Chains A and B, each alone.
Chain A
Amino acid sequence: MDSLPAKKAPRLPAAAASANGDSPESPAGSHVEWCKQLIAATISTQLSTAAVPDTISKDYRVLRDGNKLAQMEEAPLFPGEAIKAIAKDVTYICPFIGAISGTLTVTEYKLYFKSVERDPPFTLDVPLGVVNRIEKIAGIQENSCGLEIVCKDMRNLRFAYKQEEHGKLEIFENLTQFAFPVSKNLPLFAVKYKENYPVQGWKVYDPVAEYKRQGLPNESWTISKINSNYELCDTYPSVVVVPTSVKDDDLCKVAAFRTRGRIPVLSWIHPESQATITRCSQPMVGPNDKRCKEDEKYLQTIMDANAQSHKLIIFDARQSSVADANKAKGGGYESETAYSNAELVFLEIHNIHVMRESLRKLKDMVYPVIDEAKWLSNIDSTHWLEYIRILLAGAVRIADKIESAKTSVVVHCSDGWDRTSQLTALTMLILDSYYRTIKGFEVLIEKEWLSFGHRFAVRIGHGDENHADADRSPIFLQFIDCVWQMTKQFPAAFEFNELFLLTILDHLYSCLFGTFLYNCEQQRVKEEVQTKTVSLWSYINSQLEEFTNPFYVNYENHVLYPVASLRHLELWVNYYVRWNPRMRPQVPIHQNCKELLTIRAELQKKVEELQREVSNMAVSSSSERASPTHSVSPVQTTV
C-alpha cells in the first residue's frame, strides 16, 4: 500500500538521501522531507499495528544487544546544531498506536525520538519551538516517570521513562532549557543555525520597491522618512507612506492622538481609482469625546486624495460594544460628527482572547480522540469556523468598498496590529493578484504583518515559558486559515500550494528562521536579525517547485471575493487533524499534475516544431501554395 504512492510519485533525490536517516540531510528540502517522513511514519505505524504487533524482528534484536541501536536511533543534525542529551529506552506513548520504545534525543533545536522496533522505523522530530508547556508527571509506578509536552501545533506528546537512570534527569532539564531559551536568557537556535541557501530571503521585501510597484509616490502620497529612527512610532516600519500635503508637525500631533502613535498610513492603493487602504490604531477619544483637529484634517486629506469618492469609510474591526468600552480606557472610535464625510462601520470581530479560547477548544476536539458521531457539531461548538467567516466577510466588505464604490477606507482595531493586519492583508489578497504569487505573498507577510508590528514574539510566545500569558493568541494562524479557505475556493488563483502554508505555520513556531522572531521592525533591527539569522524565504525560495501550485493561472487584475458563508468554509483538516494517523494523507496528486504539465509543454513544443517544418516545406516546394501555412495559433487566450 505504501508502495503505490511511492510508485506513482517517485521520491525526490533529497528525499531518498534523508530517508536513510544516517547522513546529515541537506536542509534544503528538509521540511518537505520531514512532512514526508511524518506521512511515512503514520503509514508505517498503521501497517505495523496490524501486521506485526509487538514483535521485534531478529535483526533488530541482535542490534539491540549490541550497542548499535543507539546509533541507528541517532538524530540527524542541522549545521550548528548540537546534541544536548540522549536517553535510551524511553517510551513514547502514542495516543493512536500505543507505547513505542526508543531513543529520545534533545538538541538545542529539537526533540527527536526514534524507534527501530518498527519497520520502517518510527520517528518523531519536533522542533522545541512548538513546545508550549512541559510537565513532569510523577510515576504511577515507583521508579517510572512521565513527561507531558503540550505543543502549539495542535498536539501533545507523552513520554515515559525510568527515573532511576541518571541520564534521564538531564532530559527534562535540557528540554526546559532549550524549549524556553528566552526565559533562561539563552539565545534562540535561529542565531546558531548556519545554512547557506542559494537565495537570500531577506531581500524579498524592499518597502520602497513595493510602494513603487503600487505606483507610489504620486502627487497625493509620499514615502516619508519621518519614522526612520522609529521615533514617531516605535512599532511601525521606518518607511511609511503618508499624504504629501501633511506636515511633519501635524503628523506628530496625529500620532499623539492615536494609540501608540500608530497614525493612519497607506497600505495599498488601487491602481485605477486611487482608492486606498490605510491602517492605524484607535483614536484616543476617551470618555470625554476628545477631538483632534489635525487627525480630522488628516483623514479628510486621505479622502481628498481619492477623487472618485466623497466619502471615507472607517472600518473598526471591533465589536461596537467593545469599542464603546474602550472609551472608558482612553481609546474609542471616530464619531461621525467630528469626522464629516466619514462613515464608521464596525466589523464585530472578537478579541484575541476569544480566538485563543476557540483554538483551545478546537484542539480538544481534534487531538487525540475524535468523536466520530459528533464531529461536526463539536467543530461548530468551537466557533473557529464562525470566526474565520466573520474575518473573511469583513475583508470582503472592505474590498467591495474599494473596488465597487471606489472609496478609500481606514481600517483599525484597538492597537492596529492584530485584527487590522488580518483585514488589510486579506483585503489586499482579494484585490491584488500580485499577493497571490509566492513572492507577493511573502511580501504581504513582510509588509502587513512583520513591518507593521504584529507582535509575533508575544502572540506566539517564542522561547517563553509563561504558557498562560494572556497575550498569546493564534491571530496569524487565523489569517493563514483564511488564505487556505480562499485557495480552496479559487484553486487556480494562487501560485502557492498547501505545503507552502503548512511550512509557514510550522516555522512560525520552530524558531529555526529569524523571520517571525521579535515584535516589530525596530527590535529586529536592534537584534540584527538579518545578519544573524536565516530568513524563512531563503529556504522556501530555494526550492520553489515544491511550493508551486501546478494549476496556477495569473488572474491579473481579478478581484476574488471568497464566499464568506459557513456552508462554503471547511475545517482545514490537513493542518488541524494532521497528527491523527487515520487522517491518512491523500494520495499525492501534485506529482501527477507536474508530469501532466510537462507533457503538455513538450507536446506544445513538438506541435510548433512540426508546424514550422511543414510551413518551411510548403514555402520551399511551391510558393503559390502559400495559403496552407496557417497561422500558428498557440493555445492561448487572454484574460
Chain B
Amino acid sequence: MLQSGSFRLHSCGPEPAPSSFEMMDRVVGVKLLPGEKVKGEAVNVKKCLWYKQLRKSITGKLLCTNFRVAFVPVETWIPQGPGNGSRILGADDVALSCIDRVVAGTSSRTKVVSASSSLKFQPQELLIHCCDFRLLHFQFEQEARASEIIPLIAQSCQPVSPRDLFVFQYSVEMSNNLDPRWMNTHSDGELYPTQMFETHLDWEIELSRTGAVGWRVSLANERFEVSPSLSKFLVVPRKVLDLDVKRACAYFNEGRIPRWHWHHGGSDLLRMSNFQSNAYTQRDGLSKLEQLLFGGQSKLVIVDLADELPTPAEIQLAYNRLKHLCCYENASPFRDADEKWLSTLEGTRWLECVRLCLKKASEVSSLLSNQCLTVTLQETDDRDLACLVSSLVQVILDPYCRTMQGFQSLIQKEWVEAGHRFSDRFNRLRRTDKEESAVFLLFLDCVWELLEHYPVLFEFTETYLLAIRDSTHILLFRNFLFNCPRERAYAQQSLATDVRVRVTPYTNSWPRSRSTPRDEQVVLKGGFFTREERNCPLPSVWDWSLQFPLEHQVLFRSALYSSDAQLLAQNGTSAHSNTDKGEFPLPRTVYHLTRGVLLVQPQLLPWKNVSVSKKLSRLSQSLESLLELEQPQRIPLSPSLDPASLPLPPIPAPGIRLWKGCYLRWPLEVGFEAAYNLLTALTSQVHWLERRLRQEADRQNTATNGLDHQGNHLTQPPSPVCSNGSDTMETSFTTMLSSATL
C-alpha cells in the first residue's frame, strides 16, 4: 500500500514457454537475464582458488556478456565461497559494474588493461579486481583466447555512455515480458513494502507517522526549479508559501533550502546546504527565510557537518587504503602474518571515520531527544555526510528505522530522494575519479557497528546489510543509479518511450532539458494531487525477490528481534510540542554545535551580520574569549530515557571493529560462521516448524472431515544457504539445523 512505483512485472497472459530459452541457458551454462547477450568466451580456462599459493584450480570456460563475466566450470563443483544466494549472479560470476580493475599478466609482467589500451604481449593470466574486494584469478591454456577476451572484458566494464548500461536493455526486455524464465520471479513482490518518497503521499505519511505538526508538503520543486538536485517534494513550515520557498533557494548552495526530514519528541530534524554568501538585500524575504529555518521552534541548533567529520575525499582515501589492506591478494593465511595488522588497519583511518560519524550522530541524537528544538544539519552541498548523519540519527532514535521496511524507507528519504550522488560517488561510469567516495558504504558500516552492539534492537541482519551493499555494485536498480531524483525521472521517461516504441538506439546522455515531463498524470488520490509516472520500468533494489529467492530472504530477518508494536509506534516521548506558536515570532536563538558544546551564535546566520561583518572577523579570532563570554552550554550527553532508542553514548574505540564479514569474506580460508547465521538458521527453522504445524493442523481438519487425506509433504527444512569455506563449516551448518532436538 505504501510502496509506489516499485518495479513490477505486469504479467498478463502467460505465453507458452518456449523451451529454447532454457536450451540456450544450458548451452551457455549461465542463466542469462532478459536482454543479456554473450559477447565472447574462452574455453580451457583455469580458475585459481588460492591466489599465489595455487592450491587448487578448476577448469571451465570464461564468458563475457553485456552484464557479467561468468565462469562456467566443466565439472559441477560446489562453490566454496560464501554463496550470496543471488538469483542474478552465480557464485563464480561478477557483474561488469563490479569490476574495479582488469589486470593481464604473464609469469614475468603484469599490466592493467583499460578500454583504450592495447596489449603488447600474450597474456597467460587474468586478474579481476572487484569493487567488493574480491579478486578473481584465471589462467589460460590458449593464449590467443586470452588476448581476445581480456580486452573485451576491459572494454565491456567501462561503458562509454550511461545509456549503454545493461539495466536499460534489461528493463525494456522485462517490460515487454518476452522471457518466460523470469516471468514468475516477481510474483512475490516486495516482502517489505517501502515508502519510496517518490510521491506526495509518502511524505504525508511520514509527517503523520512521526507526529510532526505545522508542516506541509510543498510542490514548489516539482519542476526542479528550486533545486535541481532535490526531490520534487519539500516539507516546509505550513506558514511558508511556495513563493517564499522559491525565493529562499537563492540563499542556499544548489538551492538546497532548509527542509524538514524527521520529527522526534518535540524536536525536528532539518537539512540544508551552506548559505550562499552573496546577496541578502531583500529584507522582507528574510523573515520568511528565518521561519523556514526555525520551523516551529524558537531554538535552532545548526550542526555544521564540516566540523570534526571526514570529508568525502578523506572517506574515499580511507576506503582505498582499506581495500588495499583487505584485498585477497594481500592475505596470506597460515604464513607469516602481517605483524602490524592492527596498526595498518588504524592507518587506513576507516575505523576512525566510522567512529567520528557515530559520535556525531549520537551527539545530534541526544540533542534531539532531550530538548524541544530544531536541529538543522548543514553541509556544503548537503548531499553526503548530511545523508549519513541524518539517517544514523534516525536509526539510533527511531525504532521504525531499525525494521527492514523502515530502513529501506530511510535510505529512500535520506539518500535517494535527497539527492546523494550515487552515480558520481560510486563512479561506476568512470567519469571522474575525483568525485568517487564511499560515503554510502561508510553508512552501512556504521549501521553494522550499531547492529553488532545491539542485535536485539534490529529487525535485519548482517546478511541484509551485505545484500544492500552488494546491490550497489550491480547497476540494475534505479535507487543507486542516479545522482538525483531529476536524473532518474528523465531517464525513466525516455525509457518509457523506448518501451512503447520498442526501439533501442539511445541518445548519448541523459536528457538535460528542463522541459515539462510529458509522461505524467495528475491523479487525485486521498485528497492530494499526486503525480504518478505511468511507466516506471527501472527495477527497485527493495524488490528483493528480483535478486534473492525467499529462502535466502529469510536470512535478512534477525532471529533476536522481537517486534514490539508499541515501541515501534513510539517515536520519542512526545514532549509538549510548541509548534504553531502563533503569528508573532518568538525571541529566537541560534546555537552552534561544535566539539560537543553548544554555543549561542546569532552571527551564524549570514544575514544577521551584514552590518557587523568587520566585527565578526575580529571576534572569530578570539574564539576562546568568545567561549567564555557566551557561557558554553554543555549538551547533556546522557542516554535517552526513551526505551525505544538505542543507548546513546558514543561507542568508544575498543567497541568499533572491522566488519570482517564484509571486508574479509572472500579469502577462502577456513571459514567463519558468524553467529547471526546460526541465529537465522534457528529462526528459519522455527518458521518452518510453524508452517508445518499449520499444515498438520489442516491435515487434521481435512482428515476429520474425511474429505482429503493427501497431506502435503513438506519439503526439507530450510536448506543452509551459506556454506563457508571448509567442509567443516558446511557440515556444521547442517548440524546446526539438525540440532532441533535439544
Contacts and interface: CB of A to CB of B under 8 A. Distances in A.
B351 interface: yes
11 contacts: A375-B346, A389-B337, A393-B334, A551-B675, A553-B736, A555-B728, A558-B728, A561-B670, A562-B670, A584-B649, A639-B731
Interface string B112-128: 00000000000000000
B343, B660, B734, B735 — which one has the most chain A CB atoms within 10 A of its CB?
B735
Given A1-B639, A377-B343, A566-B338, A372 B686 contact: no
Contacts of A580: 652, 654
A372 B670 contact: no
Contacts of B332: 565
Given A4-B643, A47-B639, A637-B735, A577 B678 contact: no
B586 interface: no
Interface stretch (B2-10, B139-147, B313-321, B706-714): B706-714
B447 to A, nearest CB: 16
Interface string A614-639: 10011001000100101000111111
A592 B562 contact: yes
Contact of A596 (B647, B683, B739): B683
Contacts of A256: none
- Interface pairs A-B: 5 shortest CB-CB: A50-B638, A375-B653, A376-B346, A635-B740, A603-B689
Contacts of B645: 1
A568 B664 contact: yes
Given A4-B643, A603-B686, 8 more contacts: A1-B645, A51-B638, A396-B334, A558-B732, A563-B334, A566-B338, A601-B740, A604-B740
A490 interface: yes
Nearest to B335: A565
Contact of B703 (A396, A555, A618): A618
A617 B731 CA distance: 38
Interface string A557-579: 01111111111101101000100
Interface in A527-582: 551-555, 558-568, 570-571, 573, 577, 580, 582
B24 interface: no
A611 B682 contact: no
B717 interface: yes
Interface residues on B, range: 35 or more
B670 to A, nearest CB: 5
A17 B342 CA distance: 44
A603 B672 CA distance: 29
B666 to A, nearest CB: 12
Contacts of B711: 614, 628, 630
B339 to A, nearest CB: 6
A610 B339 contact: no
Interface string A378-416: 011100011001000100100000000000000000000
A610 B700 contact: yes
Given A490-B673, A491-B674, A603-B690, A638 B738 contact: yes
Nearest to A636: B738
Contacts of B674: 491
Interface string B328-370: 0001111001111111011100011001000000000000000
Nearest to B636: A50
Nearest to B639: A1
Contacts of A51: 638
B456 A553 contact: no
B87 interface: no
Given A561-B670, A599-B686, A614 B699 contact: yes
A604 B690 CA distance: 9
A587 interface: yes
Contact of B338 (A377, A567, A601): A567
Contacts of A371: 653
A491 B740 contact: no
A610 B693 CA distance: 8
Given A50-B637, A563-B333, A564-B334, A589 B455 contact: yes
B655 A573 contact: yes
A8 B638 contact: no
A636 B740 contact: yes
B732 A586 contact: no
A607 interface: yes
B429 interface: no
A493 B343 CA distance: 31
Contacts of B738: 553, 635-639
A32 interface: no
A596 B732 contact: no
A83 interface: no
A366 B652 CA distance: 11
**Interface SS of A by simple majority:** helix
B693 A603 contact: yes
B379 to A, nearest CB: 23
Contacts of B697: 610
Nearest to B330: A567
A489 B664 CA distance: 13
Contact of B728 (A372, A551, A560, A593): A560
B685 interface: yes
A487 B453 CA distance: 18
Contact of A47 (B638, B699, B736, B741): B638
A571 B657 CA distance: 10
A606 interface: yes
B339 A628 contact: no
Interface string B34-63: 000000000000000000000000000000
A374 interface: yes
B678 A491 contact: yes
Contact of A370 (B331, B654, B686, B693): B654
A560 B672 CA distance: 11
A597 interface: yes
B682 A596 contact: yes
B429 to A, nearest CB: 33
A140 B636 CA distance: 32
Contacts of A373: 352, 653
A583 interface: yes
A492 B680 CA distance: 13
Interface in B605-643: 636-643
B560 interface: yes
Contacts of A375: 346, 653-654
